[in-house]
């Protein structure tokens, strides 16, 4: 069982990202689950979304999770929420920030000794998509860090999932995914 927890603000696309990832993974024959804690779902409020992936049918409906990966797609959440809650020694972090990994860990001591990767999904999204929607770049970074799928296969799959959007936006998302894949450290 692979388990992922997303830290996001409502409106940044974590739920869409989690569902998009689940959709791609499902096409490879695995079982998936994607869900979120909405709370009062005010735009801008801190929220969490979740993915489970397994070879077996997923029966567990606990919201509680010891994640294998933690995605943080809003830089400030590293300071205003505990992104390390219920983690385990091998948990891998991918965090959106304009800082280097070392600067980030220095600014948030809770991340010391953890396996932390950084990428500026906000900047990438602004420069490619034109809006601060950091969900698809985070998935590009995840493909690099996890080696889960070949990036070309992943982009093709995401094209199908985003097909409802105008072609220009789909292309911009592909650029964003590729840039985050290339830039994650």
Partner 1 sequence: MAEKMELRDIEVWDGNMAASQAMRQVQIDVVAAYPITPSTPIVENYGSFLANGYVDGEFVMVESEHAAMSGCIGASAAGGRVATATSSQGFALMVETLYQASGMRLPVILNVVNRALAAPLNVNGDHSDMYLGRDSGWIQFDAYNPQNAYDLNFIAFRVAEDHEVRLPAMVHQDGFLTSHTAQGVHTLDDDTAYSFVGDFKPMNDMLDLDHPVTHGVQTEEDWHFEHKARQHHDLMTKVFPRIQAAFDAFEKLTGRKYNIVETYNTDDADAVVVCMGTAVETAVEVSNELREEGKKVGVIGIRVIRPWPYDQLLDALKGIKAIGALDRSSPNGTFGMLYNELAGTVVNGDEKKVLTNYVYGLGGRDLLKSQLREIYAELLANAEAGKPTTPLQQLIGVRGPKISFH
With binding defined as CB under 8 A, does residue 60 bind partner 1? yes
DSSP 64: -
Which residues between 29 and 58 bind partner 1 (CB under 8 A)?
31-36, 38, 40, 58
Q: Name the one range near partner 1 by CB under 8 A: 15-23, 77-85, 97-105, 170-178.
A: 15-23
**Which of 42, 44, 45, 63 touches partner 1 (CB under 8 A)?**
63
Distance between CA atoms of 87 and 108, rounded to whole angstroms? 16
Distance between CA atoms of 18 and 6, rounded to whole angstroms? 8
Q: How far is the CB of 86 from partner 1 (least distance, A)?
A: 12
Q: 71-81: buried (b, 16+ CB within 10 Å) or exposed (e) per residue?
A: bbbbbebbeee
Number of other residues whose CB lies within 10 A of the CB of residue 38: 13
Q: Looking at beta carbons only, is 104 or 158 nearer to partner 1?
A: 158
Q: How far is the CB of 107 from partner 1 (least distance, A)?
A: 31
Q: Name the one range near partner 1 by CB under 8 A: 59-67, 105-113, 120-128, 134-142.
A: 59-67
Q: Looking at beta carbons only, is 22 or 133 nearer to partner 1?
A: 22
DSSP for 68-111, written as a single string? SEEEE-STTHHHHS-TTTT--TT-EEEEE-SS-HHHHHHH-GGG
Q: What does the binding site for partner 1 look like in residue numbers (CB under 8 A)?
A: 18-19, 22-23, 26, 31-36, 38, 40, 58-64
């Amino acid at each position: 069982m692979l388990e992922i927890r997303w830290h996001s603000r409502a409106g940044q696309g974590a739920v869409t990202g989690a569902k998009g990832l689940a959709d791609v993974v499902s096409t490879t024959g695995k079982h998936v689950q994607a869900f979120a804690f909405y709370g009062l779902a005010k735009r801008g409020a801190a929220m969490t979304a979740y993915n489970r992936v397994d070879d077996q049918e997923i029966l567990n409906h606990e919201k509680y999770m010891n994640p294998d990966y933690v995605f943080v797609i809003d830089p400030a959440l590293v300071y205003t929420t505990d992104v390390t809650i219920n983690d385990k020694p091998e948990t891998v972090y991918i965090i959106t920030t304009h800082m280097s990994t070392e600067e980030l860990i220095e600014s948030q001591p809770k991340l010391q000794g953890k396996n932390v990767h950084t990428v500026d999904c906000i900047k990438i999204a602004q420069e490619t998509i034109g809006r601060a929607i950091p969900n698809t770049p985070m998935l590009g970074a995840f493909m690099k860090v996890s080696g889960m799928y070949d990036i070309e296969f992943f982009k093709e799959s995401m094209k199908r999932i985003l097909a409802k959007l105008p072609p220009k936006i789909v292309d911009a998302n592909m650029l964003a995914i590729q840039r985050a894949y290339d830039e994650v450290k």
